[in-house]
């Protein structure tokens, strides 16, 4: 009877140590994954911003207004700009969603 008590006690201690090890390894892997995903998102954001600046420079955009130099400011042109921005946001969302699915 005494032998069973000590065996049970040793078993419980060993199981506890294993569980603690598994949990700490799992949390470590989760932390590593989170850090990698944050870095990937930071790089992706940086790449998007660089491309946006390049396209803005290529289009000859005026940095004070954000509109192309010499462009009329009629309501139709404003609506067209809004529509283009919405399309770009939709493309960016689709790219992010595809990236998340691939990751």
Higher local confidence (pLDDT), 66 or 7:
7
Evaluate the CA torsion angle 58, 63, 65, 71 in order and state its sign. Answer: negative
Domains of the chain: total: 2
What residue numbers bound the domain in which 91 lies?
A: 65-103
Decide: 61 and 68 in contact? Cβ < 8 Å: yes
Q: Is the model's pTM score more than 0.85?
A: no
Q: How far is CA 70 from CA 14, 34, 59, in A?
A: 76, 46, 12
74 & 24 share domain: no
Q: Within 13 Å of residue 20, how many CA atoms lie on the same side as its CB?
A: 6
pLDDT digits (tens, 9 = 90+) for 13-56: 999 999 999 999 999 999 999 999 999 999 999 999 999 999 98
Structure confidence at residue 101 as a pLDDT band (50, 70, 90)? confident
Please indicate, yes or no, whether residues 12 and 42 belong to a single structural domain of this protein.
yes
* Residues 70 and 103 reside in one and the same domain: yes
3-state DSSP assignment of residue 61: strand
The tens digit of pLDDT for each residue in 58-98 reads 887 555 555 555 555 566 788 888 888 888 888 888 888 88
Q: Are residues 12 and 51 in the same domain?
A: yes
């Amino acid at each position: 009877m005494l032998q069973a008590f000590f065996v049970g006690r040793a078993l419980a201690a060993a199981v506890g140590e294993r569980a603690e090890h598994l949990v700490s390894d799992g949390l470590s892997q989760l932390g590593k994954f989170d850090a990698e995903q944050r870095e990937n998102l930071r790089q992706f954001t940086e790449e998007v911003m660089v491309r946006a600046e390049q396209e803005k420079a290529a289009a000859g955009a005026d940095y004070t207004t954000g509109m192309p130099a010499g462009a009329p400011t009629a309501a139709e042109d404003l609506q067209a700009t809004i529509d283009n921005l919405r399309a770009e946001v939709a493309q960016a969302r689709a790219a992010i969603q595809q990236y998340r699915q691939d990751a």
